[in-house]
Structure 1
Amino acid sequence: MNAERPPLVLASASPRRRDLLARIGVVPDRVLPTDTDETPRKAELPRLLAARLAAEKAAAAAALAPGALVLAADTVVGVGRRILPKAETEVEARRCLDLLSGRRHHVYTGVVLLTPEGKALSRLVDTIVTFQRLTEAQIADYLAGGEWQGKAGGYAIQGRAEVFVRFLSGSHSNVIGLPLFETAQLLRGVGWLRP
């Protein structure tokens, strides 16, 4: 770590986020996942949930790592006002895939960078994704592979589900879990990454 900059804490247990950061040459000094309740509030919209959870995760990690620069993110898949779960069961994943089949959806990621002085910088990134109409065989094969587990919307675009994507507008890395362009901008803005 450069002595001129504070340690960078990633407030996420996601290996995908660490891999994405590595793509832009960023290796957190510490990974500090937080135990944040991700239950949506009544009538909360998908984009607002992503922003709120990222802010709450950043604040919780900052309380445990004073003097650090804290990076937090949360990704939410939404169809209209509906928030899709991070699929924990095959039944949940199937419901998600049935809903996404042949439809457009939004993937929102809230990104928050909290400075050691307590200043919060944030971005909310929206990527539009349209799936082809999925056959029963495609859904069954995808579910059998298991990569849907714990994924927002029940799919991983960086895996076999990429072949379902008929159209994508916006950040591909956002759909994986961290919009790299915006994250790099935030880190450059505080002098942690070189311009």
Structure 2
Amino acid sequence: MPLPLLLASRSPQRRAILTQLGIPFEVCPADVEELTDGDPSTVAVENARRKALALAGDARARTGAVVLGVDTIVVLDGAVFGKPADAADARATLSALAGRSHTVLSGVCVVEPGGEPRTALASTHVHFRALDAATLDWYAGTGEWEGRAGGYAIQGRGAALVDAIEGDYLNVVGLPVPALLDLLPAILQEAR
């Protein structure tokens, strides 16, 4: 696989997962208009595709680079919960998720040099504990919800909100490794 991998994202979680795997990459955020409404699976995949294509068409995507776009959303009863606007919005989102199960969807898109975009979708079910007002206030007060789909970070203090998960934990963190490896099976051979 040509290197480096260009990550069309600012997500520190995605950077941490790629680093954990030893995959060389460069961060090159792509600023695109993201979908917020529609079929949740389509929203996640289309947003990932938009990010990857924006970067692939940018001068930063030099010859030989592979571009990776990812978008993660939280879905409850068919409604998409993106990143909360403020602490009150985060608290409202967490209150809606409390004591219920929701789905975390991540769209993944890779564009190899001269190739067409290839996409995958990962899905993980997350079961939240019942959350009282004090717990909601505590978590909203941490600020950890900022920039997080669904308003929580399972790898941080948000772990206290979760009862169980079914599926890929790293998908909930922000980068579904099995989906990435399905799209780029040789990527681990380039790992350090």
Q: TM-score, with normalisation over the residues of structure 2?
A: 0.92
Q: Which amino acid aligns with 1:48?
A: T
Q: Which amino acid aligns with 1:103?
A: R
Say which SS state the counterpart of residue 189 (structure 2) adopts.
coil
Which aligned pairs between 1:112-191 and structure 2 lie closer than 5 A? 112-188=109-185, 191=186
Q: Which residue does 1:54 correspond to in 2?
A: 48
What is the distance in 1 between the residues matched to 2:34 and 2:100?
25
> % of aligned pairs identical?
39
CA contact 1:6–1:69 (8 Å) conserved in 2: yes
Query: 1:45: Cα distance to partner?
Result: 1.8
Query: 1:192: Cα distance to partner?
Result: 3.5
Query: 1:37: Cα distance to partner?
Result: 1.2
Query: 1:185: Cα distance to partner?
Result: 3.1
Asked if 1:35 is matched to 2:31, the reply is: yes
Query: 1:184: Cα distance to partner?
Result: 2.6
Q: Which residue does 2:57 correspond to in 1?
A: 63
- Unaligned 5+ segments in structure 1 are none
CA contact 2:108–2:119 (8 Å) conserved in 1: yes
Could you give the per-residue CA deviations for residues 87-129 of structure 1, whole angstroms, max 9, x where no partner exists?
1201110110110000110000001111101222221000000
CA contact 1:18–1:27 (8 Å) conserved in 2: no
CA contact 2:53–2:117 (8 Å) conserved in 1: no
Q: Which residue does 2:76 correspond to in 1?
A: 79
Q: Which runs of 4+ in 1 moved over 3 A?
A: none
Which aligned pairs between 1:105-116 and structure 2 lie closer than 5 A? 105-116=102-113
Say which SS state the counterpart of residue 153 (structure 1) adopts.
helix
Q: TM-score, with normalisation over the residues of structure 1?
A: 0.90
Say which SS state the counterpart of residue 70 (structure 1) adopts.
strand
- Unaligned 5+ segments in structure 2 are none
Q: Which amino acid aligns with 2:47?
A: L
Could you give the per-residue CA deviations for residues 165-195 of structure 1, whole angstroms, max 9, x where no partner exists?
112100000001001122133222xx34329
Query: 1:66: Cα distance to partner?
Result: 4.3
